[in-house]
A and B are shown apart, each in its own frame.
Chain A
Amino acid sequence: MLEIKTAKTRKGKRELEKRAPKLVESGKKTLILHGTKTSGVLNAVLAQIYHLKKNDAVKYSRKNENVKPFEAGGETSLEFFSLKTDCSIFVYGSHSKKRPDNLVIGRTYDHHIYDLVEVGIENFKPMESFNYDKKLAPKEGSKPFIVFIGEGFEAVDELKHLKEVLLDLLRGEVVENLNLAGVDRAYVCAALSPNRVLFTHCALRLKKSGTVVPRMELVEVGPSMDFVIRRHRPPNESLRKEAMKTSREKPKKKEKNVKRDELKGKIGSIYIPDQKVGETALPYKAKGVKRERREAKRKNDKDGENAPKRQKEDS
């Protein structure tokens, strides 16, 4: 037997509709969570990644014993969290003797694990350790520039994979229109060697150059760290094919208040709210009354001032 369960409130319904599959997606949310054990470095890394992505990220603060993304059976809990929070990128930190300062970045498709990249964190420098003009500090949620340097990102499979994942993680909101005044940050990822990537976050300083294009200058604002490639699991080929599907048609916006007539053609109707002429307050222009009142008040004040004095004199 089946029972129909529907949202009980309008708000709940809207929330569920937001989570429904869409023709054109608007960006992925990130889930940040800890493993069984995390080091101080890793705690800071996770906190600062969350800080960078505050607009579209969820951070879990508890330890998760059941989450082991690379192991069989260790992903059920993670997939549930992904479903619960509606996040499709996760950043998972764990620390063990075998893999110290371990960071797993992964993506999900339909709330099932799509791919995984595991990196070790080295040479971590937190945001607080950078000194710069605070006016330059990037605004929360601004669209970043993303820079990848090095042939490693093309030649080495792991790095190629990492590049795609990092791009997905860092790109921020998917937008069509960009405000040029809001351009203020850049992420720089450099493949130093086949298994090491330098990652840093910079603010952009736009300087006048005499042309339309300003001269760009990078100011490191942190965090900065090295990613050392460990394990990785590329997506299943068939799954990848399915996940890459896009639709040609764009979602139609509902056309309201427009009718089409065979003779007259397109007819639009405009609704003007009731102007409530009877209820509008008339401008209070009676200056004469005002002046009278003002004068009357002045008189009263004078009397009032005089009265106590007289009383004093009397006493």
Chain B
Amino acid sequence: MEMEIEDEKQHKFDVDLGHLMVFDSNHTFPSQPPLSREDLVKQCLLKGTHLVQAIADALFTLPSTEDVDGPLVNLPPPLTKLPREKHLPKPKPPTKWEVFAKKKGIQNRKKDKIVYDEQTGTWKRRYGYDRANDEDAVPIIEAKETDDPEEDPFAKRKENKKKRIEKQDKNRLQNLKEAAKFGALPSHVQLAATALPITGTQAAPKKVTKDELGNVAGIAATATASGGKFDKKLPGEKPAKHKGKYRKFLPVVEGTGIGSQEREQTEKILNKIISKNSHNILNVEKAVTMHNVKKEKKRRTEKGKASPADKKLKTEKKSFKKGNFKKGKAKGK
């Protein structure tokens, strides 16, 4: 037995201290005399003990530092390479601003966290709640001569701020999209697709609910000649909501009873269209001028003989105030 052990000790085992692994590639288990299970396990354990001893020989002779819990040993890097769990982190592409700043040679400067607030005369935070020089917290805005009197300066500021935020959000999304292309999105950010945009509309798309999607599927099914009757249904798909078509034919022939229905229907539609576009059909401005011109002509024919000087004055005034009929009329009277 001892001879055997010495024999085996001469072999070199592959010891990988990084994984605390040892591998003996020379040992073979005899297959010819079928060993009993117990013997086999015993043999394995015996062999295993030698191999474990080999690891221990290497491990316990490493330089160690004493710790409260026991001697600490610095393990060498593992020799056996194992595959990674996830890909290597990819470098983040520069944002548009970073590209621009580099081109222009702009460098980041550190700003103080606390700034002097001129309004209260105290030092306050630069950003966040109760910040210094906050535009929104100003109770009175002094008017300038150039200001438009009809505009609310507070509302204007609010809107400007909203616009700035929107712009920043847009830029952020753009930069994140670029990062996503390189697979370098920050780990806590996800870009989720919302509903598809409808081409040509400016309105933000709504989130589509499950029911609505189901309805769309039903409508799509009717695109076939059979109205989706013979379509293969996917598992879990519900039958189309509206089978058949919504069509109703009214009698074409005029009668006292039902016959007038069709005319009513068309009139209804026509009225709707006309009322909707009535402002287009009737040019109010033109009508008013026409009316005024007519009136004027009438008056001229009446008063023309009386005083020509008066007439001259009137025309001058008219050229001054263009299109202000009411005033002209009042003065005229």
Interface size on B, residues (CB 8 A): 65
* A2-B52 contact, Cβ under 8 Å, with A20-B89, A179-B69: no
What mask results when residues 63 to 92 of chain B are scored 1 for a CB within 8 Å of chain A, else 0?
A: 010010111111100001111111111000
| B89 close to A21 (CB less than 8 A) | yes
| A242 close to B87 (CB less than 8 A) | yes
| A1 close to B193 (CB less than 8 A) | yes
* A179-B70 contact, Cβ under 8 Å, with A16-B188, A151-B27, A167-B82: yes
Verify if A73 is at the interface (C-beta below 8 Å from B): no
Q: What is the CA–CA distance of A200 and B43 in the complex, to the nearest angstrom? A: 13
The DSSP consensus for interface residues of chain A is mixed
| A180 close to B22 (CB less than 8 A) | no
| A4 close to B48 (CB less than 8 A) | no
- Partner among B29, B53, B64, B205 whose Cβ is within 8 Å of the Cβ of A190: B29
Verify if A58 is at the interface (C-beta below 8 Å from B): no
Verify if B195 is at the interface (C-beta below 8 Å from A): yes
Verify if B196 is at the interface (C-beta below 8 Å from A): yes
Q: What is the CA–CA distance of A118 and B195 in the complex, to the nearest angstrom? A: 43
Verify if B293 is at the interface (C-beta below 8 Å from A): no
What is the chain A residue whose CB lies nearest that of B37? A123
- Inter-chain residue pair count (beta carbon < 8 A): 209
Query: At the interface with chain B, which of A36-44, A45-53, A64-72, A106-114?
Result: A106-114
Which A residues lie within 8 Å of B190 (CB)? 4-6
| B189 close to A6 (CB less than 8 A) | yes
Verify if A204 is at the interface (C-beta below 8 Å from B): yes
- Partner among A16, A148, A175 whose Cβ is within 8 Å of the Cβ of B75: A175
Query: At the interface with chain A, which of B170-178, B213-221, B231-239?
Result: B170-178
Which A residues lie within 8 Å of B204 (CB)? 1
Q: How far is the CB of A242 from chain B (nearest CB, A)?
A: 7
Verify if A186 is at the interface (C-beta below 8 Å from B): yes
Pairs of residues from A and B, 3 with the lowest C-beta to C-beta distance, nearest first: A181-B70, A20-B187, A243-B83
Tell me the A residues contacting B by CB distance below 8 Å.
1-7, 12-13, 16-17, 19-23, 25, 28, 88, 107-111, 114, 123, 143-151, 153-154, 163-164, 167-168, 171, 175-183, 186, 188, 190-193, 198, 200, 202, 204, 212-218, 220, 224, 235, 240, 242-247
